Amino acid sequence: MRNFLPKITIVLFFSVPMGFLWAEEGRDRLNAVIGKMNSLESFRASVTINGGLTGVVSFKSPNQLHARFSDGRIISSNGRILWFYNPDSSIAGKQDLKGVSGGLGGLLSGYENVSVSGRTFRLTSTTKRYNEIILVVSDNDLPRVLKMKRSDEEITEVAFSGIATNIGLGTGLFNFQPPTSSQIVENPLNQKE
């Protein structure tokens, strides 16, 4: 299941501008952005991953997520179970979330170094799955670009557009069931490679 999202390496050059604010001020601004996202009842956005794969992501509080990509793949969570479905292989990963915190707050928490310049945040850590995260937000603190770099230099970039907030999203959207012919892999994120 590790190969679920496309692996396209992007060359990423970042220089730290002189205008970066460090430590507590960067962390405080980041907490404000996370707070804004956590305050939303729901949102829907178009996404582009690594400049190629496109899709639509929907979120409804608390912890409900549904993403449908242009190649037919689906990621869906009702807050208790997270599904990864690939129609090409007819494999569905079923991950028990067991109270794991997710969302933007879960992804961005625990970073030792947080800096901010304007609307761009840079988070770094030597212990996290992603050693570096760059988050660019809009004027109203909604995500525009999220770049995540792993220690093996693999980078995943997600660009958001057309974000609509606090819209009516039915709970049925988040209760994904794979086709009955699918092979189901239990808890693929717990497995070692």
Number of compact structural domains in the chain: 1
Residue 114 lies in a domain: yes
Structural domain contains residue 117: yes
Confidence of residue 171 (pLDDT cuts 50, 70, 90): confident
The answer to whether residues 49 and 148 touch, using CB atoms and an 8 Å cutoff, is no
What per-residue confidence (pLDDT) applies to 24? Answer: 66
As a whole number, the mean pLDDT across the chain is: 83
Is residue 15, in this structure, part of any structural domain at all?
Answer: no
In a domain, 60, yes or no: yes
The whole-angstrom separation of Cα 121 and Cα 116 is 4
How far are the Cα atoms of 87, 88, 114 from residue 4, in angstroms, in the given order?
11, 11, 29
How far apart (Å, rounded) are the C-alpha atoms in residues 28 and 31? Answer: 5
In a domain, 123, yes or no: yes
Residue carrying structure tokens 């770049």: 147
The parent domain of residue 180 ranges over 21-186
CATH of the domain at 124: 2.50.20.10
**Per-residue DSSP letter, 172:** G
Residue 20 has pLDDT above 50, yes or no: no
| Residue among 120, 95, 103, 166 nearest 26 (CA) | 120
**Which pLDDT tens digit goes with each residue over 58-77?**
999 888 899 999 999 999 99
For residues 53-62, give the mean pLDDT. 93
- Is 3 part of a structural domain of the chain? no
Query: What number is the average pLDDT over the span 144-162?
Result: 94
Per DSSP bridges, beta strands 64-69 and 81-86 are unpaired
The reply to whether 8 falls in a domain is no
Residue 9 lies in a domain: no
